[in-house]
Amino acid sequence: MEELEHSLFIVDLFNKIFGKPVASLLSLFGIEVKHPEHLFPDHVVMVLFVALALILFFGLASRNLKVIPSKRQSILELIIGFFENLLGEIVGEQGKKYLPMVGTIGLFILFCNLLGLVPGLMSPTSKINVTIACALSVFVYYHWQGIKAQGILKYLKHFMGPSPLLAPLLVPIEIISHFSRPVSLSVRLFGNIFAEELLILVIASIIPFLLPLPFMAIAIFTATIQAFVFVLLSCIYIAGAVAHEEEH
């Protein structure tokens, strides 16, 4: 399947500014770049764009916090409260300490999903390597938190099941189950966002006015749902990794 073609001004501008300096830096390490004007692919630039936008937004929103919140502070508290409640319901009382990771990955994916609805931009999550990177980040994070919560021996022990006799059967099943999680997370997100962008692009190429609007409205809903599902599953994986601490 051919990838969606994007001619993005912001990508061309970014490569024009940073392509040659980065290519020169890479040449010092023996890495030659033949076309520095195309060094950064579109999804990499869009990822950086989303990251910078989130940093600026929350950096400004968290300044001058007051007892009586402003509209900006109210929005910030609403967002944080949503993630805290979700973590509290799924993980438990200790869920708040996972807020930085879950909140960051959730907002990042949401903004990435919605970015493609802005004319002249694209959704980075319509590229499989971006969704794989997000899924692998969650995969590494929840295993690391499980090891921190229980210690490496106790954490590995739960892969064996309740009885040592069942270990030869359960260990391969558990390993396959855990490694299938990043595959499932990444493919589900990629497939939905890629399909949305492709559908809107095809419809806009046929009838560019008015007709794509209902599909764009649906895309806002599905983009939000996909981000929520990703966050929800991430919370479930974290809860499963650290829950054994309470059982022993």
| pLDDT of residue 62 exceeding 80 | no
Q: Which range among 7-11, 43-47, 161-165 has the greatest average pLDDT?
A: 43-47
Range in 15-24, 77-86, 128-137, 202-211 the model is least confident about = 202-211
pLDDT of residue 121: 87
Q: Does the pLDDT of residue 226 top 90, yes or no? A: yes
Task: Please state the domain extents for the chain.
Answer: 1-40, 41-247
Half-sphere exposure of 231 (CA within 13 A, CB side): 25
Q: Please name the amino acid found at residue 116.
A: G
Residue-level pLDDT at 218: 85
* Residue 151 contacts residue 82 (beta carbons within 8 Å): no
Query: pLDDT tens for residues 199-208?
Result: 877 777 777 6
Say what the pLDDT of residue 247 is.
Answer: 41
CB atoms within 10 A of CB 162: 9
- The predicted-structure confidence for 108-161, as pLDDT tens digits, reads as follows 999 999 998 888 888 999 999 999 999 999 999 999 999 998 889 888 888 887
- The Cα–Cα gap between 158 and 162 comes to 7
Instruction: Determine the Cα–Cα distance for residues 219 and 112; give it in Å rounded to an integer.
Output: 12
CA distance 243 to 179: 19
Phi-psi bin for 127: left (phi > 0), alpha (psi -120 to 50), beta?
beta
Distance CA 214, CA 162 (A): 52
Question: What pLDDT is stored for residue 237 in this prediction?
Answer: 96
| pLDDT for residue 5 | 44
Are the C-beta atoms of 99 and 58 separated by less than 8 Å? no
Whether 223 contacts 110, CB under 8 Å:
yes
Q: Determine the pLDDT at residue 161.
A: 74
